[in-house]
């Protein structure tokens, strides 16, 4: 009897955690999104969709995710390959690559703000080189493209290590015998990477991409630090409706939209990158 109950007892803390910190808040948000003045309504979603910032925020968020995630995936694969092939100094390289993981989103945004600010490192460098006569307003309200590029750079620097760590762990599970056999048959390093590493890395790629896409649609602190309200994103609009406009119902509608997009993309990548049972290591 104790043996049968043990798995459920071990799962109980995680289940309680999910119920208290996910299911209960989700139920509250869903209730707020579909009600107003005590009655069921879709007005909150109509208000959200009718706001002039909504299409801009949605487009900016999708564009950020579409640019940042593929670049991070390629960089994470390169970094993970380098770390996995190192014979000595592997721990040090992994530690150096993973340093941004210890920095919060807001701190990362402030670091890049110190680079692009009027009195920041970039303006100081350009001035010392004699390339500019006066400081350039890289993050001014008219420089939306520069703000977008700054956010992209900050996000790539900040979060690529998350994907790299997952991929390094996945590469460590691939048997070396596969590479040795491929080398015996004359396969080039690129062939070994395409035919062995990538197919066997699918479960790790699945996890890394899903996690990073979800986080990409929740980007907020970096955008707030570098662009403020000059670069609307979905999470920023959620914050704005909740705290600035004091309308938690519309804020809940934004939150449900972000959740729906995250769930949809998760199911998509689970389907596209699924690994057959017979192909698993």
In a domain, 11, yes or no: no
Place of tokens 């649609």: 217
What's the structural domain count of the chain? 1
- Give pLDDT, residue 279: 52
H/E/C letters for each residue in the chain?
CHHHHHHHHHHHHHHHHHHHHHHHHHHHHHHHHCEECCEECCHHHHHHHHCCHHHHHHHHHHHHHHHHHHHHHHHHHHHHHHHHHCCCCHHHHHHHHCHHHHCCHHHHHHHHHHHHCCCCHHHHHHHHCCCCCCCCCCCCCCCHHHHHHHHHHHHHHHHHHHHHHHHHHHHHCCCHHHHHHHHHCCCCHHHHHHHHHHHHCHHHHHHHHHHHHHHHCCCCHHHHHHCCCCCCCHHHHHHHHHHHCCCHHHHHHHHHHHHHHHHHHHHHHHHHCCCCHHHCC
**Are 226 and 147 spatial neighbours (Cβ–Cβ below 8 Å)?**
yes
Specify the pLDDT at position 139. 86
Which pLDDT belongs to residue 228? 86
Q: What pLDDT, on the 0 to 100 scale, is given for residue 119?
A: 85
Q: Is 9 domain-assigned?
A: no
- Report yes or no: 33 and 41 within 8 Å, Cβ to Cβ: no
Calpha distance 152→67 (Å, rounded): 8
Question: Whole-model pTM?
Answer: 0.88
Residue 13 lies in a domain: no
As averages over each run of 10 residues, the pLDDT of the chain (281 residues) reads: 78 91 90 88 92 94 94 94 85 87 89 89 88 85 89 93 92 87 86 88 91 92 90 94 92 94 91 70 56
Q: Provide the domain limits for residue 73.
A: 22-279
Residue 195, in any domain of the structure: yes
In this prediction, residue 280 carries a pLDDT of 58
In a domain, 175, yes or no: yes
> Domain containing 76 — which CATH number?
1.10.3720.10
């Amino acid at each position: 009897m104790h043996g049968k109950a043990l798995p459920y007892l071990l799962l109980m803390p995680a289940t309680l955690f999910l119920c208290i910190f996910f299911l209960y808040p989700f139920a509250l948000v869903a209730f707020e999104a579909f009600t107003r003045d005590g009655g069921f309504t879709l007005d909150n979603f109509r208000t959200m969709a009718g706001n002039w910032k909504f299409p801009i925020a949605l487009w900016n968020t999708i564009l950020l995710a579409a640019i940042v995630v593929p670049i991070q995936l390629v960089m994470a694969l390169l970094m993970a390959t380098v770390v996995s092939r190192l014979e000595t100094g592997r721990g040090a390289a992994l530690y150096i690559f993973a340093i941004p993981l210890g920095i919060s989103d807001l701190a990362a945004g402030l670091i890049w703000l110190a680079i692009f600010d009027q009195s920041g490192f970039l303006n100081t460098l350009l001035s010392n080189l004699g390339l500019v006569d006066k400081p350039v307003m890289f993050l001014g309200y008219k420089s939306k493209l520069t703000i977008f590029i700054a956010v992209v750079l900050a996000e790539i620097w900040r979060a690529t290590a998350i994907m790299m760590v997952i991929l390094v762990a996945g590469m460590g599970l691939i048997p070396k015998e596969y590479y040795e056999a491929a080398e015996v048959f004359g396969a080039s390093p690129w062939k070994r990477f395409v035919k062995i590493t990538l197919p066997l890395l699918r479960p790790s790629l699945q996890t890394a991409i899903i996690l990073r896409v979800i986080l990409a649609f929740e980007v907020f602190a970096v955008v707030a630090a570098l662009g403020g309200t000059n670069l609307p994103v979905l999470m920023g609009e959620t914050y704005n409706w909740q705290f600035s406009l004091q309308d938690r119902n519309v804020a809940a509608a934004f939150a449900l939209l972000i959740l729906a997009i995250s769930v949809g993309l998760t199911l998509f990548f689970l389907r596209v990158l699924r690994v057959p049972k017979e192909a698993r290591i």
